[in-house]
Amino acid sequence: MVHNVAFIGFGGMAGHHLTQSKELTDIIRVKGIYDINPERQAVAAEKGLYVYNSAEEIYSDSEIDIVLVAVPNHLHKDFCINALRAGKHVLCEKPVTITSGDLLEIMAVAKEEGKIFTIDQNRRVNKDFILMKRNVEAGLLGDVYLIESRVEGSRGLPKGWRTDKAQGGGMMLDWGVHLIDQIMYMYPNARVTNIFCKMYNVNYAEVDDNFHLVLTLSNGVTAYIEVSTNNFLKHPRWYVLGKEGSLEIGDWDCEGTIVRCKDRQSTWGAEIAKNKVGPSKTMAPRDPDTVDTIHISAPTDVEDNLNPTYRQMIDAIEGKAELTIKPEQALRVVKVMEACFESAKTGMAIAAEI
Ligand SMILES: NC(=O)c1ccc[n+]([C@@H]2O[C@H](COP(=O)([O-])OP(=O)(O)OC[C@H]3O[C@@H](n4cnc5c(N)ncnc54)[C@H](O)[C@@H]3O)[C@@H](O)[C@H]2O)c1
C-alpha cells in the first residue's frame, strides 16, 4: 500500500527525503509540504508538490497518513504532538527533542493515539559504522575495550539556526546524537554508567562547535566520541582496540585495516634494544611475523540511505514488524546528551544508569 506523506519544513533535509522518496514509490508518495519560507514554498511548487498554507491544513487532510517533521530542532516537539493528535503517524528528524521531558510527552501522545512515532536515526545504516560493528561482532578483535568514533571538519558551522542555542544549534545535537545512537544501538543491553564531556566554543560563542566525550558502558567498553569543526588534520573515522587486535577505518570511503595478534609470546631480551623509539622495550616495534594484517572495505550489502528508515516505519504501520528505530532508544540518547551538557557545564563526570 502507498502511504501519503506531508513534510513540515522543506529545507535541506526534507529536500533529501524528497529525492530519496523516488526510490520508495511502492510504499510512499510525498503529496505536499508546509514551510514558512516563501522561497521554499516556491521550490516545492516547482517540484509539483502541493503547498499547504499551514500545518493545520496538513492535519485535516484525510489523504495524509504520515507527517515528516523536519524543522529546526526546538520546533520538533509541538509539530510531532499536534500531528499525532490529528491521527497521523510521525517521522521526526533527529535530534528528536532537546530534552527527555519533551520526548516523554510525545511518546505519551503517540501511545494514547495509537500511532507510530519514529525518528530518522539514519546513520545506523552508514557503511563505515556497519563495517566496524560487523568486525567487532565477528570477534576479530577479541574483547573490545575502546571504540573511538570521530567526525571532523574544518569549515565551522553553517549559518542560521545551527549557531543559535535557543533553536537547538551546536554539534552535540547535530552530530553527537548520531554518534551516541550508533554506540547505544550497537550495545542495546549495556548501560551508560559514566559520562564526561568537554565542549568548546572555538568559533561560535553560543553553541558547542566541537566536543570530546567519554562514555563508560557497563559491558566494559569505553566509547570516545569527538566531533570537531575546526580540524585541519584528521584522525581516522573509527579506531577500535580489542584484546586480540586493533581496527582502523580511515574515512567515509570505508577503507580500513585490522591488525590481529597471532603470537602473544613477546621475547624480551635482557638488554634494552636500540630502536627509533629510543631506549624502550615496551614501545619497541613488533616482529611483523607475529601479527596478521587484514584489509577491510565497504560492505556491499548495506543500503546506506533513508530507505531503511521509511521501510521499517511502514512495516510497523502495516503491522508487519515492530519498529526498529524506537522512541525508547532515542530517549536513552537524549538522556545521555542531557548528561553531556551537564558535564560540560560543571566540568565533572556524571555517574549515570542510562
Ligand atoms: N538525519 C540526518 O542526517 C539529518 C541531516 C540534516 C538535518 N537533519 C535534521 O533535519 C531538521 C531540519 O534540518 P535542515 O538541515 O533541513 O534545516 P534547514 O534550515 O535547511 O530547513 C529547515 C526548514 O524549516 C523551515 N521552518 C522553520 N520554522 C518553521 C515553522 N515554524 N514552520 C514550518 N517550517 C519552518 C525553514 O523555513 C526551513 O526551510 C533538523 O532537525 C536537523 O537536525 C537531519
Phi and psi of 334, rounded to 5°?
-65, -40
Of ligand 1's listed atoms, the one at least distance from the Cα of 71 is: 24
pLDDT tens sequence across 267-305:
666 666 667 777 777 887 788 888 999 999 999 999 999
Residues 169 and 279 in one domain: yes
Domain that holds residue 285: 124-303+335-351
Q: Assess whether the C-beta atom of 120 lies below 6 angstroms from ligand 1.
A: yes
Q: Assess whether the C-beta atom of 40 lies below 6 angstroms from ligand 1.
A: yes
Query: What is the structure's pLDDT at 278?
Result: 77
Residues 54 and 110 in one domain: yes
How remote is the CA of residue 174 from the centroid of ligand 1, in Å?
A: 11
CATH number at residue 247: 3.30.360.10
Work out the number of other CB atoms within 10 angstroms of the CB of residue 155.
8
Any domain includes 12 = yes
Any domain includes 249 = yes
How remote is the CA of residue 35 from the centroid of ligand 1, in Å?
A: 10
Query: What is the structure's pLDDT at 137?
Result: 98
Distances in whole angstroms, Cα of residue 140 to Cα of each of 242, 245, 248, 255, 263: 8, 7, 13, 17, 15
Q: Assess whether the C-beta atom of 9 lies below 6 angstroms from ligand 1.
A: yes
Q: Grid coordinates representing 154?
A: 574544518
Residues 224 and 341 in one domain: yes
How remote is the CA of residue 41 from the centroid of ligand 1, in Å?
A: 14
Residues 187 and 255 in one domain: yes
Any domain includes 14 = yes
Of ligand 1's listed atoms, the one at least distance from the Cα of 75 is: 31
Residues 72 and 133 in one domain: no
How remote is the CA of residue 12 from the centroid of ligand 1, in Å?
A: 7
Q: Assess whether the C-beta atom of 74 lies below 6 angstroms from ligand 1.
A: no
Last residue of a domain, one of 101, 119, 137: 119
Residues 147 and 291 in one domain: yes
Residues facing 225 on adjacent strands: 149, 213
Residues 17 and 110 in one domain: yes
Q: Assess whether the C-beta atom of 12 lies below 6 angstroms from ligand 1.
A: yes
Any domain includes 317 = no
Of ligand 1's listed atoms, the one at least distance from the Cα of 177 is: 43
Residues 92 and 165 in one domain: no
Residues 40 and 113 in one domain: yes
27-43 burial code (b ≥16 CB/10 A, e <16): bbebbbbbbeeeebbeb
Query: What is the structure's pLDDT at 264?
Result: 75
Residues 278 and 266: their CA atoms lie apart, in Å, by 19
How remote is the CA of residue 311 from the centroid of ligand 1, in Å?
A: 22
**Cβ atoms 43, 36 nearer than 8 A:** no
**Cβ atoms 173, 337 nearer than 8 A:** yes
Last residue of a domain, one of 119, 151, 167: 119
Of ligand 1's listed atoms, the one at least distance from the Cα of 76 is: 41
317's enclosing H/E stretch is: helix 307-317
Pocket test for ligand 1, best of 13, 43, 80, 161 (most atoms within 8 A of CB): 13
Residues 44 and 169 in one domain: no
Any domain includes 324 = no
Any domain includes 326 = no
Any domain includes 329 = no
The low-confidence residues of the chain, meaning pLDDT below 50, are: none
Residues 102 and 190 in one domain: no
Query: What is the structure's pLDDT at 265?
Result: 67
How remote is the CA of residue 2 from the centroid of ligand 1, in Å?
A: 25
CATH number at residue 45: 3.40.50.720
* Best CA proximity match to 296, nearest among 251, 262, 248: 248
How remote is the CA of residue 171 from the centroid of ligand 1, in Å?
A: 15
Q: Assess whether the C-beta atom of 72 lies below 6 angstroms from ligand 1.
A: yes
Residues 115 and 129 in one domain: no
How remote is the CA of residue 137 from the centroid of ligand 1, in Å?
A: 35
Last residue of a domain, one of 119, 141, 169: 119
- Say whether pTM exceeds 0.75: yes
Longest C-alpha distance within the chain, in Å?
A: 82
How remote is the CA of residue 8 from the centroid of ligand 1, in Å?
A: 9
What is the tally of structural domains in the chain? 2
Residues 275 and 284: their CA atoms lie apart, in Å, by 7
